[in-house]
Amino acid sequence: MHAKRLVLVMVVAALILNASPIIAQPPPGSLRDLAARNGFYIGTAAYWDHLRDPLHRETVINEFNMLTPEQEGKACEIERGQGLYNFRSMDRLVAFAEENDMVVHGHTLVWHQCMPSWIPDHTTREEAIGFLRDYIHTVVGRYQGRVPIWDVVNEAVADGGAGLRDTPWLQWIGEDYIELAFRFAHEADPDARLFYNDYGADGMNAKSDAIYALVSDLLARGVPIHGVGLQGHITLGSTGPGGQNTPELLDANIRRFGELGLEVQITELDVSYAQPASDEVFQSMAGDYRNMVGTCLESEYCTAVVVWGVADPLSWLRSREDTVNPNMEPLLFDADYQPKLAYTAVADLLARAAGEAPLLTDEEVAALMPEEIGPVEIPEPTFSDPAQLAPDSVPGVLYYAPFPVAITLDGEMDDWAGVPRVTVDSGPTLPPNHDTAMTFAVAADDSYLYFLADVVDSSVVYGIHTPSSSWYREDGVEFYLNTTGDLAAPTYRDGIVQIGMMAANIDNPDPADPIIGGGNSADAQATIVAVRTEQGYRIEASVPLVTDVWTIVPEQGGVLGFQAHLNGASVDDRDTKLIWSIYDVQDQSYTNPSLFGQLMFWQVAP
């Protein structure tokens, strides 16, 4: 498609935080007390072994009125051999909840990442259905009347909403394994409320659309499903303007499930971030928690929020293999079980809703919430250097890409003469005394769009992580394109790509088969040349103007969505994140293309 013309006035979303940190204040009652006054559930996930710690145990008892087994309710933990069940930890958790007047949200009966290891790889459909029936009947039947809510099927929809995830259950049984699981659970406990649970679907996006279609179909066929769990594993700042989990998007998603007659719960809430902890991080996190809990509380269809863990050191986000920050503090309580600002933000929300005195002033609440910067007007094009082939960029907003310009991918700079350069040396994650910077340029000819990134970095780290999972944890650059013409698109679809160009391409002998990562990156058909330089490394790359998913026609004033990032690593993990677009203040471009800046084509005079 042809690139659309630029709208000359754009609105930029950014976080503006109060310069003075807000001090967390204890509420007059616990979270569970305040939640109960609202007829609401506030829960946590817990391990039985962690409850042996008196401080952990006391915090769970005092603060939460719903309990989710973090691990002990999963099939790989319960059924260690065919017909050999170990209910010891699950029994203890259920008894603990009953003793302390907590509702148990059972988690989870069918999940591809925690299956009984004894099931043979070559299992027939009939055998698999028998295994599934026996397991669900046994587990749900054991806790009939004691566990009123079950996550029956967990994470069955593929990322991006592209059909069902390819799991052993799908391979053995077929798509109806989901229906069978719900029917078996209902047979075992007709009074239990049965949920489908998934991540990455909190707001309105392709995956939540796919889940909506799935549960709508189940309901239409009379399958006993009663609720949807939106996990709420969100990233810092994603509930703010331009984020994928704004209150408006979350509410719209909750409402459409509710209007099907389904109950909705936020089932695994936490807030991840890559940068070092700071007052600004905790303030933004408090705003995210308040937005998520507040949206659920205000909805007639949403009945509970479960936080995925109690105190920061025990969060799963620290220990997962692909963690972006092994030291992150994503929960409501710190290492000493002291309530954080996020706790106070949630308690204040619940107190106000219950008619109690607020814990924060209105000004302090406002400081937690992201604000919009006013309109940004694009100035008339200017040339700071008469030799430039295109005008100066508008920092973080608009880059002018000259065309046609002949570029050869050889690691040399000669053919980039006259193409405007932009240096990026700031971003949300910066180590002390960092020396990393990226200077980029973009140009086009009749067949390709070309990218240049000249990186200054005293320590280039690569070859440690795989492109399929953790490519962003080592040195590399990212270029993003939105070729759809819909520059406000909040989610990825065909024609929108994130191209992670890893420094590992320095050792790659075939530029036409590059080492890349990122959303839809294969669609770009990128060719990449990377070379070492005295100051760091340099990447040159090209993508075709015509592919199976897009047609880019350079023309004067034509516009694409555009973004540039740099990932810098130290030792074996990322410690630097530089971002060009001023729209993206919390590293959200990988999920939300509306945070890109823009690229305008500029025709070079003959």
Percent of the chain as helix, strand, coil, to the nearest 5 = 30, 25, 45
What's the CA gap between 201 and 231, in Å, rounded? 8
CA-only gyration radius of the chain, Å: 26
Residues 6+ apart with CB under 8 A from 301: 254, 255, 257, 258, 259, 262, 263, 264
User: How would you class 548 by CB atoms within 10 Å of its CB: exposed for 0-12, middle for 13-18, buried for 19 or more?
Assistant: exposed
Partnered with residue 497 across adjacent β-strands are 481
* Cβ–Cβ < 8 Å for 451, 401: no
Active site residue 268: yes
> Left (φ > 0), alpha (ψ -120 to 50) or beta: where does 249 sit?
alpha
Q: What angle do CA 426, 429, 432 make, to 5 degrees?
A: 85
Q: Is the peptide bond before 404 cis (omega within 30 degrees of 0)?
A: yes
Q: Which of 476, 469, 473, 418 is nearest to 442 (CA)?
A: 418
Tell me how far apart the alpha carbons of residues 109 and 225 are, in angstroms, rounded to a whole number.
14
Name which of 414, 397, 396 is nearest 405 in CA terms: 414
Sign of dihedral through CA atoms 380, 497, 16, 281?
Answer: negative
Strands (DSSP E) along 49-192, which ranges?
66-69, 79-81, 84-85, 103-110, 149-154
Asked if 155 is an active-site residue, the reply is: yes
108 upstream amide cis, omega within 30 of 0? yes
- 160 φψ region: left (φ > 0), alpha (ψ -120 to 50), beta (else): left
Catalytic residue among 70, 72, 79, 268: 268
Across 206-321, the runs of DSSP E, i.e. the strands, are 227-230, 233-235, 263-272, 302-307
Looking at 63, 155, 329, 478, which residue is catalytic?
155
Phi-psi group of 145: left, alpha or beta (phi > 0 → left; psi -120 to 50 → alpha; rest → beta): left
List the structure tokens of 499. 């191209």
Tokens found for residue 253: 């998603």
Write out the two tokens for 603.
């025709």
As annotated, the active-site residues are 155, 268
